């Protein structure tokens, strides 16, 4: 057997192994996501993944902070590039008002939603700040953690989250983006007041509510 033929066969073998590995990984991921169809009823009628506060508006810049929460209403901590643990996310953006973008996915007869970006009236959504890293804990969306969730729910949610983070959503039926700014209820978010973003799994709706 010639070396050229040998190398060709080796290359073909490696290609087949690679394709098989990708297929198996994709099939495994889809199987995990499909588990959510039976587990989704676990979600409450209202989910509050974010609370935020406008800290100041100065020189056409808005300063604000955010907190993320899990399903048990516990704060989701995140770690910065130096490994330091934080409870608040503090940011500033050019502009005067905030908007949030969510990725919403239908599962069975319900929905799940993932905070995607925050932006302002001076920044288009495509240039907004991606929020995944603030609630990503070992590739699991910590906003969907609960002591009462099942292993099947957790593994399915992790598989779905990984696809969304990668932008691998072509095969996710019915997925859509939802921009949340609630200008109908608030002409302007008040400095120093706390607002919660409420997601309704039964209908897929998202709203912003000012806290008392």
**78-130 tens-digit pLDDT:** 888 888 899 999 999 999 889 999 999 998 888 999 999 999 989 988 899 99
End-to-end Cα separation, the chain, in angstroms? 80
Q: What was the pLDDT predicted at 73?
A: 94
Nearest to 53 by CA among 146, 149, 118, 136: 118
Dihedral of CA 47/66/105/158: which sign?
A: negative
Tell me the pTM: 0.82
In sequence order, the 6+-apart residues with CB closer than 8 A to the CB of 196 are 48, 50, 51, 208, 209, 211
Q: What was the pLDDT predicted at 142?
A: 97
The Cα 97–Cα 50 span in angstroms is 17
With a cut of 70, which residues of the chain have pLDDT below it?
A: 1-30, 32, 34, 38-39, 181-187
Nearest to 125 by CA among 150, 94, 101, 92: 101
Q: What was the pLDDT predicted at 182?
A: 58
**DSSP code per residue over 4-22:** HHHHHHHHHHHHHHHHHHH
Task: Check: CB of residue 175 under 8 Å from CB of residue 169.
Answer: yes
Please list, residue by residue across 11-22, b when 16 or more beta carbons sit within 10 angstroms of its beta carbon and e when fewer do.
eeeeeeeeeeee
Q: What was the pLDDT predicted at 26?
A: 52
DSSP β-bridge partners for residue 182? none
Nearest to 136 by CA among 49, 27, 25: 49
Q: What was the pLDDT predicted at 36?
A: 80
Q: What was the pLDDT predicted at 27?
A: 60
Task: With H, G, I as helix, E, B as strand and everything else as coil, classify residue 146.
Answer: coil
């Amino acid at each position: 057997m010639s070396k050229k033929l040998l190398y060709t066969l080796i290359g073909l073998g490696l290609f087949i192994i690679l394709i098989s590995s990708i297929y198996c990984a994709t099939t495994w991921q889809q199987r995990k996501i499909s588990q959510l169809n039976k587990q989704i009823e676990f979600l409450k009628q209202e989910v509050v993944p974010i609370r935020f506060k406008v800290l100041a508006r100065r020189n056409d810049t808005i300063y604000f902070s955010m907190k993320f929460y899990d399903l048990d209403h516990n704060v989701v901590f995140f770690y910065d590039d130096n490994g330091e643990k934080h409870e608040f996310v503090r940011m500033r953006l050019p502009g005067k008002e905030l908007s949030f973008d969510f990725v919403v996915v239908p599962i069975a007869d319900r929905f799940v939603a993932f905070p995607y970006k925050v932006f302002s009236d001076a920044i288009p959504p495509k240039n907004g700040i991606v929020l995944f890293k603030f609630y990503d804990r070992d590739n699991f969306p910590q906003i969907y953690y609960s002591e009462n969730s099942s292993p099947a729910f957790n593994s399915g949610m992790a598989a779905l989250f990984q696809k969304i983070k990668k932008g691998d959503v072509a095969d996710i039926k019915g997925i859509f983006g939802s921009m949340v700014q609630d200008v109908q209820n608030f002409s302007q978010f008040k400095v120093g007041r706390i607002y919660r973003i409420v997601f309704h799994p039964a209908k897929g709706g998202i709203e912003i509510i000012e806290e008392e």
